[in-house]
């Protein structure tokens, strides 16, 4: 399976200048390629393919000698990025979604370079990048041998390298335990065994500081150096919240994968929920990212992740009885079997029950006895 290994880079001043220069050239090349496609559509009604534009790179490097500071493969990756943007645009049109035509990239909207295999290598604790040299890297974990592409990205003035590698799966020992997870806003998650994981609400706690940073930006004169510094501080405040959320979700997903063989979750329409009246809280909790982490970690560890139908999980009981509730009703009291537990706990049990019912060729009663 493919995994991405992310490392912090520490380029010196000369290397930072070279990386910034390459970003500027790639952004200019992207905008020029986009302009060519737009003009081709207007004049001929047909677009220019990525391969047609790729054949022009040699001529461009002769006319514009500064583009010789970029490897041919790096410029090709820019065209691949533009081609993906157009394919996504036409896909959204076919599906009746908001089109979102590819846009020209401003100075702060192009912050990554892609290096193919052979243009970079890891050597002696340094990342050797073509036309840049050996950049010091915080190699906090070993890099697998089979590496593919390397994406060098600038985030809030800090450089990172994300290296895509092909690694074998590493199955964990069999535990014979299953769990259902009900995600929510009051608690981040409630497990079918009754464990409650509190919602950290990182964004809500950081709002006061972010408002101060935003007011600082508003007081600065547009285009001034002090405004750019204030914008950077605001961006760093947002990045800190994202890092906190990502760290929390990585630790929780790792512990769940280590404890259970089968994990059941709801197949939620997170995009739809994020557009409702609770949009801020839904974005803060980050369900989609958490489920994504569970998915690839389960695949890597040989675990099983099952997404079940989300409708009705809070309105039914494990005995099969219908127990309608309002959103304000936080307790589940079944009139048929008499069970009385919290609403989220029962939802987690129903989620697990639905997941076990979908398994074929397994003794569900035996698995349930392991869970109990």
CATH number of the domain that residue 279 is part of = 3.30.420
One domain for residues 159 and 186 = no
Smallest Cα–Cα separation from 330: which of 191, 196, 189, 186?
186
Task: Assess whether pLDDT exceeds 50 at residue 366.
Answer: no
This prediction's pTM: 0.86
For residue 242, tell me if it sits in a domain: no
The answer to which of 24-33, 88-97, 191-200, 330-339 has the lowest mean pLDDT is 330-339
According to DSSP, the residues that pair with 150 across neighbouring strands are: 115, 163
One domain for residues 137 and 192 = no
For residue 153, tell me if it sits in a domain: yes
Q: What total of structural domains would you count in the chain? A: 2
For residue 182, tell me if it sits in a domain: yes
Q: Give the model's confidence band at 258: pLDDT under 50 very low, under 70 low, under 90 confident, else very high.
A: very high
The pLDDT of residue 358 = 86
Contact of 351 with 182, CB cutoff 8 Å: yes
Beta strands in 89-240 (DSSP E): 112-115, 120-123, 126-129, 133-138, 147-155, 158-166, 178-183, 187-191, 196-198
For residue 98, tell me if it sits in a domain: yes
For residue 149, tell me if it sits in a domain: yes
Domain housing 19: 2-166
Task: Assess whether pLDDT exceeds 80 at residue 372.
Answer: no
One domain for residues 15 and 98 = yes
Question: Residue 363's CB: how many other CB atoms inside 10 A?
Answer: 10
Task: Assess whether pLDDT exceeds 60 at residue 370.
Answer: no
**Which strand (E) or helix (H) includes residue 5?**
strand 2-10
Mean residue pLDDT of the chain comes to 91
For residue 259, tell me if it sits in a domain: yes
At 298-352, the pLDDT tens digits run 999 999 999 999 888 888 898 888 888 888 888 888 888 888 889 899 999 999 9
Look at the chain and count its residues: 372
Report the percent of the chain where pLDDT is more than 70: 97
For residue 157, tell me if it sits in a domain: yes
One domain for residues 18 and 122 = yes
Please tell me which residue, 2 or 359, carries the higher pLDDT value.
Answer: 2
One domain for residues 195 and 318 = yes
One domain for residues 154 and 194 = no
User: What's the average model confidence in pLDDT over 71-87?
Assistant: 95
One domain for residues 252 and 162 = no
Distance CA 113, CA 81 (A): 11
One domain for residues 258 and 340 = yes
User: What's the average model confidence in pLDDT over 292-298?
Assistant: 94
One domain for residues 196 and 120 = no
One domain for residues 277 and 144 = no
Task: Assess whether pLDDT exceeds 80 at residue 191.
Answer: yes
Q: Give the model's confidence band at 1: pLDDT under 50 very low, under 70 low, under 90 confident, else very high.
A: confident
Distance CA 46, CA 43 (A): 8
Q: How far is CA 144 from the centre of its chain?
A: 22
Task: Assess whether pLDDT exceeds 70 at residue 361.
Answer: no
One domain for residues 153 and 260 = no
For residue 235, tell me if it sits in a domain: no
User: What's the average model confidence in pLDDT over 349-364?
Assistant: 78
Contact of 152 with 137, CB cutoff 8 Å: no
CA 358, 364, 370, 372 dihedral sign is positive
Q: What secondary structure letter does DSSP report for 209? A: H
One domain for residues 122 and 95 = yes
């Amino acid at each position: 399976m493919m995994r991405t290994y992310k490392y912090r880079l520490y380029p010196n001043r000369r290397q930072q200048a070279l990386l910034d220069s390459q970003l500027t050239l790639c952004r200019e090349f992207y905008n020029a390629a986009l302009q060519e496609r737009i003009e081709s559509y207007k004049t001929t009604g047909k677009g220019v393919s990525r391969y047609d534009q790729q054949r022009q790179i040699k001529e461009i490097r002769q006319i514009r000698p500064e583009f010789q500071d970029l490897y041919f493969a790096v410029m090709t990756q820019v065209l691949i990025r533009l081609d993906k943007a157009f394919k996504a645009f036409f896909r959204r049109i076919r599906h009746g979604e908001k089109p979102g035509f590819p846009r020209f990239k401003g100075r702060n909207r192009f912050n990554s370079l892609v290096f193919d295999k052979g243009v970079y290598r890891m050597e002696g604790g340094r990342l050797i990048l073509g036309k840049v040299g050996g950049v010091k890297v915080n190699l906090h974990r070993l890099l697998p041998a089979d590496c593919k592409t390397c994406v060098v990205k600038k985030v809030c003035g800090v450089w990172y390298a994300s290296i895509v590698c092909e690694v074998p799966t590493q199955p964990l020992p069999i535990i014979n335990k299953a769990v259902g997870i009900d995600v929510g806003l009051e608690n981040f998650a409630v497990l079918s065994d009754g464990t409650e994981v509190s919602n950290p609400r990182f964004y809500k706690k950081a709002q006061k500081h972010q408002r101060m940073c935003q007011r600082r930006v508003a007081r600065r004169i547009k285009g001034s150096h002090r405004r750019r510094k204030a914008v950077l501080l605001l961006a760093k405040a947002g990045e800190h919240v994202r890092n906190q959320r990502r760290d929390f979700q990585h630790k929780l997903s790792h512990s769940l994968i280590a404890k259970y063989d089968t994990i059941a979750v709801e197949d939620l329409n997170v995009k739809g929920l994020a557009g409702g009246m609770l949009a801020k809280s839904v974005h803060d909790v980050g369900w989609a990212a958490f489920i994504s982490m569970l998915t690839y970690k389960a695949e890597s560890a040989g675990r099983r992740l099952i997404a079940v139908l989300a409708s009705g999980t809070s309105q039914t009981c494990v005995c099969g009885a219908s127990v309608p509730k309002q959103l304000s009703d936080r307790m589940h009291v079944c009139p048929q079997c008499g069970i009385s537990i919290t609403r989220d706990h029962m939802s987690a049990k129903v989620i697990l029950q639905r997941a076990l019912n979908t398994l074929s060729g397994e003794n569900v009663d035996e698995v349930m006895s392991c869970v109990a």
